[in-house]
Protein backbone atom coordinates (compact mmCIF):
# COMPACT_ATOMS: atom_id res chain seq x y z
CA UNK A 1 0.00 0.00 0.00
CA UNK A 2 2.93 2.33 0.74
CA UNK A 3 4.03 1.86 -2.83
CA UNK A 4 0.62 3.08 -4.01
CA UNK A 5 0.77 6.25 -1.92
CA UNK A 6 4.30 7.02 -3.09
CA UNK A 7 3.15 6.55 -6.69
CA UNK A 8 0.05 8.73 -6.14
CA UNK A 9 1.93 11.57 -4.47
CA UNK A 10 4.76 11.47 -7.00
CA UNK A 11 2.22 11.57 -9.82
CA UNK A 12 0.28 14.41 -8.20
CA UNK A 13 3.51 16.35 -7.75
CA UNK A 14 4.37 15.70 -11.40
CA UNK A 15 0.93 16.96 -12.45
CA UNK A 16 1.41 20.10 -10.36
CA UNK A 17 4.86 20.76 -11.84
CA UNK A 18 3.60 20.22 -15.38
CA UNK A 19 0.67 22.57 -14.75
CA UNK A 20 3.06 25.24 -13.44
CA UNK A 21 5.11 24.80 -16.61
CA UNK A 22 1.95 25.32 -18.63
CA UNK A 23 1.86 21.79 -19.97
CA UNK A 24 -1.14 19.54 -19.85
CA UNK A 25 0.95 16.41 -19.30
CA UNK A 26 -2.08 14.18 -19.07
CA UNK A 27 -0.10 11.07 -19.96
CA UNK A 28 3.06 11.46 -17.93
CA UNK A 29 1.64 11.40 -14.40
CA UNK A 30 -0.28 8.18 -15.03
CA UNK A 31 2.71 6.56 -16.66
CA UNK A 32 4.88 7.46 -13.68
CA UNK A 33 2.29 6.13 -11.22
CA UNK A 34 1.95 2.79 -13.04
CA UNK A 35 5.71 2.47 -13.27
CA UNK A 36 6.07 2.98 -9.52
CA UNK A 37 3.05 0.83 -8.67
CA UNK A 38 2.08 -1.60 -11.47
CA UNK A 39 -1.44 -2.25 -10.07
CA UNK A 40 -2.01 1.47 -9.45
CA UNK A 41 -5.24 1.48 -11.48
CA UNK A 42 -6.68 -1.18 -9.21
CA UNK A 43 -5.89 0.80 -6.07
CA UNK A 44 -6.82 4.37 -6.91
CA UNK A 45 -10.33 5.46 -6.05
CA UNK A 46 -12.82 5.46 -8.88
CA UNK A 47 -16.04 7.45 -9.21
CA UNK A 48 -19.19 5.80 -7.94
CA UNK A 49 -20.43 5.39 -11.50
CA UNK A 50 -17.95 4.84 -14.29
CA UNK A 51 -18.71 4.92 -18.00
CA UNK A 52 -16.16 3.65 -20.52
CA UNK A 53 -16.16 4.37 -24.23
CA UNK A 54 -14.18 2.23 -26.64
CA UNK A 55 -14.22 1.07 -30.27
CA UNK A 56 -12.31 1.78 -33.47
CA UNK A 57 -13.98 4.97 -34.67
CA UNK A 58 -16.03 7.60 -32.84
CA UNK A 59 -14.92 7.04 -29.25
CA UNK A 60 -13.54 10.55 -28.84
CA UNK A 61 -16.71 12.09 -30.26
CA UNK A 62 -18.93 9.93 -28.02
CA UNK A 63 -16.87 10.71 -24.91
CA UNK A 64 -17.01 14.42 -25.68
CA UNK A 65 -20.77 14.31 -26.24
CA UNK A 66 -21.27 12.50 -22.94
CA UNK A 67 -19.09 14.98 -21.07
CA UNK A 68 -21.02 17.85 -22.66
CA UNK A 69 -24.37 16.36 -21.62
CA UNK A 70 -23.27 15.81 -18.02
CA UNK A 71 -21.72 19.26 -17.84
CA UNK A 72 -24.98 20.71 -19.21
CA UNK A 73 -26.70 19.00 -16.30
CA UNK A 74 -24.22 20.61 -13.91
CA UNK A 75 -22.34 17.43 -13.08
CA UNK A 76 -18.56 17.65 -12.69
CA UNK A 77 -16.99 14.43 -13.76
CA UNK A 78 -13.72 12.58 -14.16
CA UNK A 79 -12.76 12.45 -17.81
CA UNK A 80 -9.76 12.16 -20.11
CA UNK A 81 -11.14 14.26 -22.97
CA UNK A 82 -7.95 16.31 -23.18
CA UNK A 83 -5.62 13.40 -22.63
CA UNK A 84 -4.57 9.95 -23.58
CA UNK A 85 -6.94 6.96 -23.73
CA UNK A 86 -4.43 4.24 -22.84
CA UNK A 87 -3.93 2.97 -19.28
CA UNK A 88 -1.62 5.87 -18.39
CA UNK A 89 -4.16 8.40 -19.64
CA UNK A 90 -6.93 6.76 -17.65
CA UNK A 91 -4.67 6.80 -14.57
CA UNK A 92 -3.83 10.48 -15.10
CA UNK A 93 -7.53 11.41 -15.19
CA UNK A 94 -8.14 9.52 -11.94
CA UNK A 95 -5.06 11.01 -10.25
CA UNK A 96 -6.21 14.50 -11.14
CA UNK A 97 -9.54 13.84 -9.43
CA UNK A 98 -8.16 11.98 -6.41
CA UNK A 99 -7.61 13.24 -2.87
CA UNK A 100 -4.18 12.84 -1.32
CA UNK A 101 -5.60 9.72 0.31
CA UNK A 102 -6.43 8.28 -3.11
CA UNK A 103 -10.22 8.66 -2.91
CA UNK A 104 -12.11 9.92 -5.94
CA UNK A 105 -13.65 13.37 -5.53
CA UNK A 106 -16.31 12.82 -8.22
CA UNK A 107 -19.44 10.74 -8.37
CA UNK A 108 -19.27 10.11 -12.11
CA UNK A 109 -16.61 9.39 -14.71
CA UNK A 110 -16.54 9.19 -18.50
CA UNK A 111 -13.32 7.65 -19.73
CA UNK A 112 -12.36 6.99 -23.32
CA UNK A 113 -10.50 3.68 -23.35
CA UNK A 114 -8.21 2.49 -26.12
CA UNK A 115 -9.49 -0.87 -27.32
CA UNK A 116 -5.98 -2.24 -27.75
CA UNK A 117 -5.23 -1.49 -24.09
CA UNK A 118 -8.07 -3.70 -22.80
CA UNK A 119 -5.86 -6.04 -20.83
CA UNK A 120 -4.02 -3.16 -19.18
CA UNK A 121 -7.21 -1.38 -18.14
CA UNK A 122 -10.14 -3.73 -17.39
CA UNK A 123 -8.49 -6.03 -14.88
CA UNK A 124 -8.14 -2.93 -12.69
CA UNK A 125 -10.85 -0.49 -13.70
CA UNK A 126 -14.28 -2.04 -14.05
CA UNK A 127 -16.67 0.30 -15.86
CA UNK A 128 -20.32 0.08 -14.86
CA UNK A 129 -21.23 0.83 -18.46
CA UNK A 130 -19.16 0.45 -21.60
CA UNK A 131 -20.10 1.79 -25.03
CA UNK A 132 -18.40 -0.01 -27.90
CA UNK A 133 -18.95 2.24 -30.90
CA UNK A 134 -17.83 -0.23 -33.58
CA UNK A 135 -14.87 -2.43 -34.52
CA UNK A 136 -13.13 -2.01 -37.86
CA UNK A 137 -9.71 -2.60 -39.28
CA UNK A 138 -7.24 -0.08 -37.91
CA UNK A 139 -3.46 0.11 -37.82
CA UNK A 140 -2.39 -3.49 -38.50
CA UNK A 141 0.85 -2.83 -36.66
CA UNK A 142 -0.95 -2.10 -33.43
CA UNK A 143 -4.39 -3.67 -33.73
CA UNK A 144 -3.70 -6.64 -36.03
CA UNK A 145 -7.30 -7.24 -37.13
CA UNK A 146 -10.85 -6.72 -35.77
CA UNK A 147 -11.27 -10.35 -34.69
CA UNK A 148 -8.15 -9.99 -32.57
CA UNK A 149 -9.44 -6.81 -30.91
CA UNK A 150 -12.88 -8.36 -30.42
CA UNK A 151 -11.23 -11.34 -28.70
CA UNK A 152 -9.10 -9.06 -26.56
CA UNK A 153 -12.17 -7.13 -25.38
CA UNK A 154 -14.18 -10.31 -24.72
CA UNK A 155 -11.37 -11.78 -22.66
CA UNK A 156 -10.92 -8.68 -20.52
CA UNK A 157 -14.22 -6.82 -20.11
CA UNK A 158 -15.43 -7.47 -16.54
CA UNK A 159 -18.55 -9.67 -16.43
CA UNK A 160 -20.47 -7.07 -14.40
CA UNK A 161 -20.03 -4.29 -17.01
CA UNK A 162 -23.23 -3.43 -18.90
CA UNK A 163 -22.54 -3.05 -22.60
CA UNK A 164 -24.05 -0.55 -25.02
CA UNK A 165 -23.49 -2.01 -28.46
CA UNK A 166 -24.04 -1.23 -32.10
CA UNK A 167 -26.57 -3.77 -33.36
CA UNK A 168 -25.60 -2.88 -36.94
CA UNK A 169 -22.03 -4.05 -36.41
CA UNK A 170 -21.79 -7.84 -36.28
CA UNK A 171 -18.25 -7.70 -34.91
CA UNK A 172 -18.58 -5.34 -31.94
CA UNK A 173 -22.12 -6.51 -31.11
CA UNK A 174 -20.81 -10.00 -30.40
CA UNK A 175 -18.20 -8.91 -27.85
CA UNK A 176 -18.44 -10.48 -24.35
CA UNK A 177 -21.64 -12.42 -25.17
CA UNK A 178 -22.50 -13.20 -21.54
CA UNK A 179 -22.54 -9.57 -20.40
CA UNK A 180 -25.81 -7.71 -19.95
CA UNK A 181 -26.29 -5.54 -23.03
CA UNK A 182 -28.47 -3.02 -24.83
CA UNK A 183 -28.27 -2.47 -28.56
CA UNK A 184 -28.70 0.61 -30.73
CA UNK A 185 -29.36 0.68 -34.47
CA UNK A 186 -30.24 2.99 -37.32
CA UNK A 187 -33.07 1.59 -39.42
CA UNK A 188 -32.82 1.73 -43.19
CA UNK A 189 -33.64 5.34 -44.02
CA UNK A 190 -35.70 6.31 -47.07
CA UNK A 191 -33.43 7.22 -49.95
CA UNK A 192 -30.44 5.44 -48.45
CA UNK A 193 -28.58 3.16 -50.86
CA UNK A 194 -29.11 -0.57 -50.16
CA UNK A 195 -25.36 -1.18 -50.12
CA UNK A 196 -21.99 0.40 -50.87
CA UNK A 197 -19.29 -1.14 -52.98
CA UNK A 198 -16.62 -1.59 -50.30
CA UNK A 199 -13.47 -3.68 -50.51
CA UNK A 200 -13.42 -4.49 -46.81
CA UNK A 201 -16.45 -6.30 -45.42
CA UNK A 202 -15.22 -8.07 -42.32
CA UNK A 203 -18.46 -9.88 -41.51
CA UNK A 204 -19.18 -11.89 -44.63
CA UNK A 205 -19.81 -15.30 -43.13
CA UNK A 206 -22.06 -16.63 -40.42
CA UNK A 207 -20.11 -16.96 -37.15
CA UNK A 208 -22.04 -20.16 -36.37
CA UNK A 209 -21.99 -22.12 -39.63
CA UNK A 210 -19.72 -20.13 -42.02
CA UNK A 211 -22.48 -19.78 -44.62
CA UNK A 212 -22.30 -16.56 -46.64
CA UNK A 213 -24.36 -13.93 -44.79
CA UNK A 214 -27.16 -12.14 -46.61
CA UNK A 215 -27.33 -8.44 -45.86
CA UNK A 216 -30.84 -6.94 -45.69
CA UNK A 217 -28.97 -3.70 -46.28
CA UNK A 218 -25.32 -2.77 -45.87
CA UNK A 219 -24.74 0.87 -45.01
CA UNK A 220 -20.96 0.77 -45.39
CA UNK A 221 -18.31 -1.92 -44.91
CA UNK A 222 -19.85 -4.44 -42.47
CA UNK A 223 -22.28 -1.91 -40.94
CA UNK A 224 -25.84 -2.99 -41.73
CA UNK A 225 -28.35 -5.71 -40.99
CA UNK A 226 -27.56 -9.30 -41.95
CA UNK A 227 -28.88 -12.81 -41.48
CA UNK A 228 -27.73 -16.32 -42.21
CA UNK A 229 -30.00 -18.10 -44.71
CA UNK A 230 -28.99 -21.46 -43.29
CA UNK A 231 -28.99 -21.41 -39.49
CA UNK A 232 -31.12 -18.37 -38.64
CA UNK A 233 -28.34 -16.29 -37.10
CA UNK A 234 -29.13 -12.58 -37.50
CA UNK A 235 -28.06 -9.11 -36.40
CA UNK A 236 -29.36 -8.51 -32.88
CA UNK A 237 -32.69 -6.72 -32.42
CA UNK A 238 -32.15 -3.14 -31.24
CA UNK A 239 -33.42 -1.74 -27.96
CA UNK A 240 -32.94 1.79 -29.32
CA UNK A 241 -33.61 2.22 -33.02
CA UNK A 242 -33.37 5.44 -34.93
CA UNK A 243 -36.56 4.84 -36.89
CA UNK A 244 -36.62 8.05 -38.93
CA UNK A 245 -34.87 11.37 -39.31
CA UNK A 246 -35.91 14.74 -40.69
CA UNK A 247 -32.71 16.27 -42.01
CA UNK A 248 -34.23 19.64 -42.91
CA UNK A 249 -35.88 20.10 -39.50
CA UNK A 250 -32.87 18.45 -37.82
CA UNK A 251 -34.87 15.96 -35.78
CA UNK A 252 -34.36 12.26 -35.15
CA UNK A 253 -36.86 9.78 -33.77
CA UNK A 254 -35.64 6.96 -31.59
CA UNK A 255 -37.98 4.11 -30.81
CA UNK A 256 -37.79 1.99 -27.68
CA UNK A 257 -40.22 -0.85 -28.22
CA UNK A 258 -43.62 0.74 -28.78
CA UNK A 259 -42.51 4.21 -27.64
CA UNK A 260 -40.79 6.82 -29.79
CA UNK A 261 -38.84 9.84 -28.60
CA UNK A 262 -37.72 12.91 -30.49
CA UNK A 263 -34.25 14.42 -30.23
CA UNK A 264 -32.33 17.07 -32.10
CA UNK A 265 -30.28 15.66 -34.96
CA UNK A 266 -26.83 17.01 -34.18
CA UNK A 267 -25.12 15.86 -37.36
CA UNK A 268 -26.13 14.70 -40.80
CA UNK A 269 -23.23 12.29 -41.29
CA UNK A 270 -24.27 8.75 -40.55
CA UNK A 271 -21.25 7.88 -38.39
CA UNK A 272 -21.95 10.87 -36.14
CA UNK A 273 -25.62 9.92 -35.96
CA UNK A 274 -24.43 6.52 -34.67
CA UNK A 275 -22.29 8.37 -32.12
CA UNK A 276 -25.22 10.48 -30.92
CA UNK A 277 -27.48 7.43 -30.84
CA UNK A 278 -25.03 5.55 -28.63
CA UNK A 279 -25.14 8.47 -26.17
CA UNK A 280 -28.96 8.33 -26.04
CA UNK A 281 -28.84 4.54 -25.61
CA UNK A 282 -26.43 4.80 -22.70
CA UNK A 283 -28.26 7.61 -20.91
CA UNK A 284 -31.62 5.88 -21.29
CA UNK A 285 -30.08 2.64 -19.97
CA UNK A 286 -28.78 4.58 -16.96
CA UNK A 287 -32.34 5.70 -16.29
CA UNK A 288 -32.31 9.32 -17.45
CA UNK A 289 -35.60 10.58 -18.86
CA UNK A 290 -35.96 11.11 -22.60
CA UNK A 291 -37.11 14.73 -22.05
CA UNK A 292 -34.05 15.53 -19.96
CA UNK A 293 -31.75 14.04 -22.61
CA UNK A 294 -33.62 15.81 -25.41
CA UNK A 295 -33.16 19.18 -23.72
CA UNK A 296 -29.41 18.57 -23.40
CA UNK A 297 -29.25 17.59 -27.07
CA UNK A 298 -30.69 20.98 -28.05
CA UNK A 299 -27.37 22.65 -27.21
CA UNK A 300 -25.05 19.79 -28.11
CA UNK A 301 -22.43 20.26 -30.81
CA UNK A 302 -19.97 17.91 -32.49
CA UNK A 303 -16.53 19.52 -32.65
CA UNK A 304 -16.00 20.49 -36.26
CA UNK A 305 -12.18 20.62 -36.21
CA UNK A 306 -12.16 17.55 -38.41
CA UNK A 307 -14.33 19.26 -41.04
CA UNK A 308 -13.72 22.84 -42.09
CA UNK A 309 -15.57 24.34 -45.01
CA UNK A 310 -15.45 27.85 -46.45
CA UNK A 311 -16.78 29.47 -49.57
CA UNK A 312 -14.10 31.68 -51.11
CA UNK A 313 -15.06 33.71 -54.15
CA UNK A 314 -17.63 31.13 -55.20
CA UNK A 315 -15.36 28.13 -54.68
CA UNK A 316 -15.97 25.78 -51.81
CA UNK A 317 -12.73 24.88 -50.01
CA UNK A 318 -13.11 21.99 -47.55
CA UNK A 319 -10.63 20.35 -45.18
CA UNK A 320 -11.61 16.86 -44.00
CA UNK A 321 -9.83 14.54 -41.60
CA UNK A 322 -9.41 11.16 -43.28
CA UNK A 323 -7.34 9.27 -40.63
CA UNK A 324 -4.40 7.55 -42.29
CA UNK A 325 -3.77 3.82 -41.74
CA UNK A 326 -7.53 3.54 -41.12
CA UNK A 327 -9.06 2.29 -44.37
CA UNK A 328 -12.67 2.58 -43.24
CA UNK A 329 -12.36 6.18 -42.02
CA UNK A 330 -10.62 7.14 -45.29
CA UNK A 331 -13.26 5.36 -47.34
CA UNK A 332 -16.02 7.34 -45.61
CA UNK A 333 -14.27 10.56 -46.59
CA UNK A 334 -13.69 9.35 -50.17
CA UNK A 335 -17.34 8.34 -50.42
CA UNK A 336 -18.44 11.79 -49.21
CA UNK A 337 -16.16 13.66 -51.62
CA UNK A 338 -17.04 11.40 -54.56
CA UNK A 339 -20.77 11.87 -54.02
CA UNK A 340 -20.71 15.67 -53.67
CA UNK A 341 -21.99 17.38 -56.83
CA UNK A 342 -19.86 19.77 -58.91
CA UNK A 343 -16.43 19.81 -60.52
CA UNK A 344 -13.84 18.93 -57.92
CA UNK A 345 -10.12 18.87 -57.20
CA UNK A 346 -8.97 16.63 -54.37
CA UNK A 347 -5.73 16.87 -52.38
CA UNK A 348 -4.70 13.71 -50.51
CA UNK A 349 -2.30 14.10 -47.56
CA UNK A 350 -2.57 10.65 -46.03
CA UNK A 351 1.01 9.65 -45.21
CA UNK A 352 1.87 8.58 -41.68
CA UNK A 353 3.80 11.37 -39.96
CA UNK A 354 5.93 9.10 -37.77
CA UNK A 355 6.96 6.54 -40.40
CA UNK A 356 7.95 9.33 -42.73
CA UNK A 357 10.65 10.44 -40.29
CA UNK A 358 12.20 7.18 -39.18
CA UNK A 359 11.00 4.23 -41.24
CA UNK A 360 8.91 3.56 -44.36
CA UNK A 361 5.14 3.32 -44.18
CA UNK A 362 3.42 -0.01 -44.80
CA UNK A 363 1.09 0.90 -47.66
CA UNK A 364 -1.04 -2.25 -47.53
CA UNK A 365 -3.91 -0.28 -45.97
CA UNK A 366 -4.23 1.79 -49.15
CA UNK A 367 -5.61 -1.34 -50.79
CA UNK A 368 -8.26 -1.78 -48.08
CA UNK A 369 -9.42 1.81 -48.59
CA UNK A 370 -12.02 2.49 -51.27
CA UNK A 371 -10.11 4.84 -53.55
CA UNK A 372 -12.62 3.64 -56.15
CA UNK A 373 -15.07 6.23 -54.73
CA UNK A 374 -12.77 8.86 -56.24
CA UNK A 375 -13.32 7.48 -59.74
CA UNK A 376 -15.81 10.08 -60.92
CA UNK A 377 -16.12 12.30 -63.99
CA UNK A 378 -16.78 15.20 -61.57
CA UNK A 379 -13.33 14.81 -60.02
CA UNK A 380 -11.08 16.56 -62.46
CA UNK A 381 -7.83 16.31 -60.56
CA UNK A 382 -6.33 14.41 -57.62
CA UNK A 383 -3.10 15.68 -56.07
CA UNK A 384 -1.30 13.03 -54.02
CA UNK A 385 1.06 14.63 -51.51
CA UNK A 386 4.02 13.38 -49.51
CA UNK A 387 6.73 10.71 -49.47
CA UNK A 388 4.17 8.08 -50.44
CA UNK A 389 2.64 10.20 -53.22
CA UNK A 390 3.81 7.73 -55.87
CA UNK A 391 2.21 4.82 -53.99
CA UNK A 392 -1.05 6.75 -53.70
CA UNK A 393 -0.82 7.50 -57.42
CA UNK A 394 -0.41 3.78 -58.15
CA UNK A 395 -3.39 3.04 -55.92
CA UNK A 396 -5.52 5.55 -57.82
CA UNK A 397 -4.44 4.08 -61.17
CA UNK A 398 -5.46 0.59 -60.05
CA UNK A 399 -8.77 2.04 -58.81
CA UNK A 400 -9.38 3.32 -62.33
CA UNK A 401 -8.52 7.03 -62.12
CA UNK A 402 -7.03 8.16 -65.47
CA UNK A 403 -3.32 8.99 -65.17
CA UNK A 404 -3.76 12.48 -66.62
CA UNK A 405 -5.94 13.41 -63.63
CA UNK A 406 -3.27 12.50 -61.05
CA UNK A 407 -0.44 14.77 -59.91
CA UNK A 408 2.08 13.31 -57.45
CA UNK A 409 3.78 15.96 -55.29
CA UNK A 410 6.45 14.63 -52.90
CA UNK A 411 6.84 17.88 -50.95
CA UNK A 412 3.77 19.25 -49.20
CA UNK A 413 5.05 22.81 -49.66
CA UNK A 414 4.44 22.37 -53.41
CA UNK A 415 0.95 20.91 -53.06
CA UNK A 416 -1.10 24.10 -53.26
CA UNK A 417 0.65 25.24 -56.43
CA UNK A 418 -0.24 21.92 -58.12
CA UNK A 419 -4.00 22.30 -57.58
CA UNK A 420 -6.05 23.18 -60.64
CA UNK A 421 -8.05 26.04 -59.20
CA UNK A 422 -9.58 27.49 -62.33
CA UNK A 423 -11.61 24.42 -63.32
CA UNK A 424 -12.71 23.30 -59.85
CA UNK A 425 -15.91 24.45 -58.21
CA UNK A 426 -14.97 22.59 -55.05
CA UNK A 427 -11.55 21.76 -53.60
CA UNK A 428 -11.11 19.16 -50.89
CA UNK A 429 -8.02 18.67 -48.73
CA UNK A 430 -8.11 15.25 -47.05
CA UNK A 431 -5.55 14.84 -44.31
CA UNK A 432 -4.24 12.25 -41.90
CA UNK A 433 -5.01 13.01 -38.21
CA UNK A 434 -1.47 14.08 -37.25
CA UNK A 435 -1.01 16.13 -40.42
CA UNK A 436 -3.52 18.81 -39.52
CA UNK A 437 -1.04 21.70 -39.43
CA UNK A 438 0.30 20.79 -42.87
CA UNK A 439 -3.25 20.50 -44.19
CA UNK A 440 -4.06 23.97 -42.84
CA UNK A 441 -0.89 25.33 -44.48
CA UNK A 442 -1.88 23.79 -47.84
CA UNK A 443 -5.47 24.96 -47.41
CA UNK A 444 -4.39 28.54 -46.66
CA UNK A 445 -2.10 28.64 -49.70
CA UNK A 446 -4.96 27.37 -51.87
CA UNK A 447 -7.24 30.02 -50.34
CA UNK A 448 -4.65 32.72 -51.19
CA UNK A 449 -4.47 31.48 -54.77
CA UNK A 450 -8.26 31.55 -55.06
CA UNK A 451 -8.33 35.12 -53.77
CA UNK A 452 -5.72 36.15 -56.34
CA UNK A 453 -6.74 34.09 -59.31
CA UNK A 454 -10.49 33.60 -59.09
Q: Tell me whether residue 64 or residue 172 sits nearer to other proteins (CB atom).
A: 172
Strands 214-220 and 223-227: antiparallel
Measured from the CB of residue 167, what is the shortest distance to other proteins in angstroms?
22
- Nearer of residues 263 and 365 to other proteins, judged by Cβ: 365
Residues between 64 and 103 with contacts to other proteins, criterion CB under 8 A:
none
| Beta-sheet pairing, 307-312 with 315-321 | antiparallel
Read off φ and ψ for residue 203, nearest 5 degrees: -130, 80
> Of residues 299, 360, 437, 444, which one binds other proteins by CB under 8 A?
360
Q: 148 or 247, CB closer to other proteins?
A: 148
Check binding of 364 to other proteins (CB under 8 A).
yes
211 sits near other proteins (criterion: CB under 8 A): yes
DSSP characters for 83-140?
S--SHHHHHHHHHHTB-TTS-BS-SEEEEE--GGGHHHHTTT---SEEEE-------H
Strands 259-264 and 344-349, by their bridges, are: unpaired
Residue from the set 270, 387, 433, 441 that interacts with other proteins by CB under 8 A: 387
What phi and psi values does residue 99 have, to the nearest 5 degrees?
-75, 170
223 lines the binding site for other proteins (CB under 8 A): no
Of the pair 148, 434, the CB lying nearest other proteins is at 148
363 binds other proteins (CB under 8 A): yes
257: left (phi over 0), alpha (psi -120 to 50) or beta: left
Tell me the closest approach of the beta carbon of residue 5 to other proteins, in angstroms: 32
Tally of CB atoms within 10 A around 39 = 13
The DSSP line for 409-423 is: ESSGGGHHHHS-TTT
For the bound state, the minimum distance from the C-beta of residue 415 to other proteins, rounded and expressed in Å, comes to 17
Residues 150-209 that bind other proteins (CB under 8 A): 199-201, 204-205
Q: Which is nearer to other proteins, 289 or 400 (CB)?
A: 400
- Pick from 39, 99, 148, 342 the residue near other proteins by CB under 8 A: 148
Work out how close the CB of 227 gets to other proteins at its nearest, in angstroms, rounded to a whole number.
Answer: 16
Interaction between residue 403 and other proteins (CB under 8 A): yes
Q: What does the longest C-alpha to C-alpha distance in the chain come to?
A: 69
Under the binding rule (CB under 8 A), the answer on residue 5 touching other proteins is no
Q: Annotate 303-355 with three-state secondary structure.
A: CCCCEEEEEECCEEEEEEECCCCCHHHHHHHHHHHHHCCCCEEEEEECCCHHH
d(CA 384, CA 363): 14
Nearer to other proteins, 183 or 371 (CB): 371
Q: Which of 15-23, 77-85, 89-97, 392-400 is the region at the interface with other proteins (rule: CB under 8 A)?
A: 392-400
- Out of 270, 290, 375, 394, the residue judged to bind other proteins by CB under 8 A: 394
By CB under 8 A, tell whether 437 contacts other proteins: no
Residues 104 and 42: beta-carbon distance below 8 Å: no
Stretch in the footprint of other proteins (CB under 8 A) among 124-132, 279-287, 361-369, 441-449: 361-369
Give the residue, chosen from 71, 107, 147, 214, that forms a contact with other proteins under the rule CB under 8 A: 147
Question: Which parts of 299-358 interact with other proteins (CB under 8 A)?
Answer: 327, 358
- Our measurement of the distance from residue 342's CA atom to the centroid of its chain's CA atoms, rounded to an integer in Å, reads 28
| Residue 271 CA neighbour count, 13 Å, CB half | 21
Separation between Cα atoms, residue 104 and residue 96, nearest integer Å: 9
Give contact residues for other proteins (rule: CB under 8 A): 140-141, 144-145, 147-148, 199-201, 204-205, 210-212, 327, 358-360, 362-368, 387, 390-391, 393-394, 397-398, 403
Amino acid sequence: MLRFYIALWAAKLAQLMLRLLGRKGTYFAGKLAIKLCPDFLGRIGRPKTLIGVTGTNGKTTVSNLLCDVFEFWGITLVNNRYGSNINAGVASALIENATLGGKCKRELGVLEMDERSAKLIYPYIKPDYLIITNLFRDSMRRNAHPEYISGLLSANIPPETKLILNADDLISSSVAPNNERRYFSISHIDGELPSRDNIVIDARICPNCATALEYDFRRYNHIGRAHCPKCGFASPAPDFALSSADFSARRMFISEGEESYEYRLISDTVYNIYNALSVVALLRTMGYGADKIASAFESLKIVQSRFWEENIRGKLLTVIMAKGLNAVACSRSFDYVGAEPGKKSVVLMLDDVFDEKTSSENIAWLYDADFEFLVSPDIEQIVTVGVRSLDSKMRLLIAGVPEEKIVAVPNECDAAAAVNISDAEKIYVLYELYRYNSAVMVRNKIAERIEKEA
